[in-house]
Structure 1
Amino acid sequence: MVCMPAILKHPVFRRLYAAHIIHIVGNEFTFIAVVGLLHDLSGSGLSFAAGTVFRLLPYVITSLFSGALLENWDKRKVMINVNLLRGILVSLFFWITTPAYLWVAFLLLILVNVCSAFFQPAMQVAIVSSVESEDRLQANSLLQGTTSFLIIVCQGIAAFLVYYFSYRFNFLLDAACYFVSLFILLKMPSMRAAGEKASVSFLTRFREGFQYIRKAPQIKSVLVYQMAERILGAYYIMLMFHILQERKEGLHIFGLLDIPLGLGGVLAGIVVSKWADRAGEKRVNAALGWVLIAMGLSIYAMFHAGPIMILAGATLFCAFASFSATIMAVTRLQRLTDADYLARVFSIREMGTMGSFAIGCLIVGYGAEEVGSAVISSGLAIFGFIAGVLWLFAARAGKTVESATENAAS
């Protein structure tokens, strides 16, 4: 097991990590800017939920086949070209100023996320190629912890810029970050598929990816778990409506609430990296179940709290649980999946998790508009509790069956 600094001695991972940091900085500036743009153009709290669906639905559809496609492509070129396209597209948001061009904003959201659906599987292949299996928990924890720390810093800066200046300049900052990230990736080595794999047709690889998952119950269980967690994660869509419409707070308050969210991710990166490998599979399985229950309870507290500081505390707790689940689940998926199927499994994962998130966003966004966020959050809390309990029972039953099999064999 290597320590955190040693992970950064991997030349490929070091460049991936640096490129990831730069583009996350830009993403955080753009996120709050998109909220402001959609809110200004439509005047409806539902617009952000609609914008989320326009972002995620193309991502989900593209993820269905992106993994099978990019297996024959150079992963380095994929990531470079994706960042070039995203930089150009994001800069175009700056010029949308009237409600008549709301459709253009949605179109840009679609195109940016079609590009992103190719980036994530390519990055996962690059990480697995550059980091040994026993070090991937540390690598994933470092990525998640750094990302969450940047949420704290960048959302604080973004909230300041939104309050004192125009949020439109955030789009240009994001475009610049994509271009810088592109240049960092230029010096990565080529990552092209082997000749035997390149000879297999797209349709064959596409079909084999789903067959592989269907025959791997552990992989299926991790994917279903992450889909449930992402449904709970849709609570974040209600925050915009809750803060701007129900509490009548400013956009900068919504941005500042990303600070406890980011802090939760930092804590998750630190705790999981130090605990999960030593805990063993049984305790990690139990922790995954309790995470869903914890998320449900904190979501309930978040939308029934009066003081803003209690709301922020519940956001911190929920973020810690959510990011911990992501780190543990992604690491397990990397270890369970055969390298030949990694891109396909992670593209299907993106389809499943982001599809669940999109459906959840649509439901909670519309529900908050119709009956209020307090009622919808109660439903999410019940879902989290039930999903967590079911996972705990399934994990215990699986362990019992495994023990019985071992006893019979002996």
Structure 2
Amino acid sequence: MALLTHPVFRRLYAAHIIHIIGNEFTFIAVVGLLHDLSGSGLSFAAGTVFRMLPYVLTSFFSGALVENWDKQRVMITVNLLRGILVSLFFFISSPAYLWVAFLLLILVNICSAFFQPAMQVAIVSSVDEKDRLTANSLLQGTTSFLIIVCQGVAAVLVYLFSYRYNFLLDAACYLLSLLILLRLPEMAISSESKKATSFLTRLQEGFRYIASKKEIGQVLMYQMAERVLGAYYIMLMFYILQERGEGLYIFGLLDIPLGLGGVFAGVLVSRMSDRLGERGVSGVQGWTLVAMGISIYAVFHIKPLLGLAVAILFCSFASYSASILSVTKLQRLADPEYLARVFSIREMATMGSFSASCLVLGYGAEKVGSAVVSVWLAVFGVVAGFIWLWSRRQLENREAEM
């Protein structure tokens, strides 16, 4: 692929791949550690909160700070800090230090909130607009493929050795990613005009900018709706383990269609959008929400496991397609000087809606059952999809009248 010959994107892509591999090793290891330290399922729920909430809150202001910082140094520093912090999990062995594990989760995710806006600015500044959809598709497709492969490898490593060694592997991945970024070619990213502007002023300008750009605001609302639907995953473990009485390995196997959906989206979305054009892409975005709603209903009402897996695959494909198209659209719509702020606010909005939805859906599933909650979520997806399609049609009519 021609993009992989691009000197900047090639290194960003390689660094991304390596740190995703490490993340998948850590995911299983953190679950094992929290279970060993507390012996309570509640600790995993708390771990989820400690991962998401710091990321959401830090994303509120990280973009405004990153704008005046060297993007390469930000990514290198973040990976150095994450490598050190993740390695410290290895040494936690006593329940008395459970609070340290939660603290490390918080610090790691605070660091991560600075990486995303820096990487988005690096991609936009170095990759031509015509190639960005392909770049985002490649990143998403590869990430989903790695989820499938690396979770399997991580499970084998946990079986053969202690899960604790996964923390050291993750730390090594962060440091290797750092070394790749050290040789990143110089990028032409100007921030001189903002150095005299205070942080609070830039933060306020970021929100005012989004408020003044109606289309950017609509894309953010769309992505928040998609993340609300994506929170169905939090119900899946409860549904599989409690309501269906299946083994934990079944839940693990269902991650395979989840990852495959992302792979298919990464491969097909760029080809599909080239043929459809802007109007067609907006239509696809609306129908992906409708498809997610219908798929979620199917997930919690189909009895055979094979049918359930197919429904998850279809829902995953729609979800990842929506994400790829939306990220590419934001990269195109946002002015370069506001890009970091737009993407940090996007992370805050999308992960915030995902976190809140996880809590609501998890509580609802426990009280009234997953099947009932899935109906509510399905209706929300269908309605949100048709509202998006209607709003696009209204925008097209106004443009035609002008």
Is 1:25 equivalent to 2:21 in the alignment? yes
Q: 1:161: how far off?
A: 3.0
Q: How does 1:65-80 map to 2 (within 5 A)?
A: 65-80=61-76
Letter paired with 2:372:
V
Equivalent residue of 1:67, what SS?
Answer: helix
Contact in 2 for aligned 1:74/1:190 (Cα 8 Å): no
Q: 1:122: how far off?
A: 0.1
Q: How does 1:286-305 map to 2 (within 5 A)?
A: 286-305=283-302
Is 1:283 equivalent to 2:280 in the alignment? yes
Letter paired with 1:261:
L
**1:249/1:26 CA distance change after superposition, 3 Å:** farther
Q: 1:388: how far off?
A: 1.0
Equivalent residue of 1:210, what SS?
Answer: helix
Letter paired with 2:396:
K
For each residue in 1:156-176, what CA deviation from the matched residue of structure 2 results, as whole angstroms up to 9, or x when unmatched? 222333445433322222111
Is 1:331 equivalent to 2:328 in the alignment? yes
Task: Tell which deviates more after alignment, 44-53 or 101-110.
Answer: 44-53
**1:32/1:375 CA distance change after superposition, 3 Å:** farther
Paired position in structure 1 for 2:12: 16
CA RMSD for the aligned pairs? 1.9
Paired position in structure 2 for 1:171: 167
Q: 1:88: how far off?
A: 1.5
CA distance, structure 1, for counterparts of residue 249 and residue 98 of structure 2: 22
CA distance, structure 1, for counterparts of residue 102 and residue 247 of structure 2: 23
Is 1:369 equivalent to 2:366 in the alignment? yes
> Which of residues 133, 148, 155 in structure 2 aligns to 1:152?
148
Contact in 2 for aligned 1:49/1:237 (Cα 8 Å): no
Paired position in structure 2 for 1:308: 305
Paired position in structure 2 for 1:227: 224
**1:262/1:44 CA distance change after superposition, 3 Å:** same
For each residue in 1:247-280, what CA deviation from the matched residue of structure 2 results, as whole angstroms up to 9, or x when unmatched? 4444443333222111111100111010112201
> Which of residues 123, 128, 134 in structure 2 aligns to 1:127?
123
CA distance, structure 1, for counterparts of residue 87 and residue 300 of structure 2: 35
Task: Tell which deviates more after alignment, 277-286 or 324-333.
Answer: 277-286
Paired position in structure 1 for 2:378: 381
Q: 1:382: how far off?
A: 1.7
Contact in 2 for aligned 1:49/1:362 (Cα 8 Å): no
Paired position in structure 2 for 1:95: 91
Task: Tell which deviates more after alignment, 76-85 or 295-304.
Answer: 295-304
**1:169/1:75 CA distance change after superposition, 3 Å:** same
**1:298/1:252 CA distance change after superposition, 3 Å:** same
For each residue in 1:161-204, what CA deviation from the matched residue of structure 2 results, as whole angstroms up to 9, or x when unmatched? 34454333222221111111111101114556432222222122
**1:383/1:117 CA distance change after superposition, 3 Å:** same
Letter paired with 1:227:
M
Q: How does 1:98-113 map to 2 (within 5 A)?
A: 98-113=94-109
CA distance, structure 1, for counterparts of residue 248 and residue 160 of structure 2: 12
Q: How does 1:179-194 map to 2 (within 5 A)?
A: 179-190=175-186, 193-194=190-191
Q: 1:286: how far off?
A: 1.2
Contact in 2 for aligned 1:83/1:182 (Cα 8 Å): yes
CA distance, structure 1, for counterparts of residue 223 and residue 85 of structure 2: 30
Contact in 2 for aligned 1:52/1:361 (Cα 8 Å): no
For each residue in 1:31-88, what CA deviation from the matched residue of structure 2 results, as whole angstroms up to 9, or x when unmatched? 2332333344445545433322221111111111101101111111110111111111
Name the % identity.
Answer: 72
For each residue in 1:138-172, what CA deviation from the matched residue of structure 2 results, as whole angstroms up to 9, or x when unmatched? 11111111111111111222233344543332222
Paired position in structure 1 for 2:60: 64
Paired position in structure 1 for 2:113: 117
> Which of residues 337, 346, 349 in structure 2 aligns to 1:349?
346
CA distance, structure 1, for counterparts of residue 37 and residue 375 of structure 2: 31
CA distance, structure 1, for counterparts of residue 159 and residue 253 of structure 2: 11
CA distance, structure 2, for counterparts of residue 370 and residue 126 of structure 1: 45
> Which of residues 165, 177, 192 in structure 2 aligns to 1:195?
192
Q: 1:310: how far off?
A: 2.2
Paired position in structure 2 for 1:272: 269
Contact in 2 for aligned 1:219/1:336 (Cα 8 Å): yes
CA distance, structure 2, for counterparts of residue 361 and residue 326 of structure 1: 18
Is 1:209 equivalent to 2:210 in the alignment? no
CA distance, structure 2, for counterparts of residue 37 and residue 310 of structure 1: 33
CA distance, structure 2, for counterparts of residue 78 and residue 198 of structure 1: 16
**1:239/1:94 CA distance change after superposition, 3 Å:** farther
Letter paired with 2:148:
I
How many correspondences in the alignment?
Answer: 401
Paired position in structure 1 for 2:157: 161
Is 1:399 equivalent to 2:396 in the alignment? yes
For structure 2, the residue ranges without an aligned partner over 5 or more in a row are: none
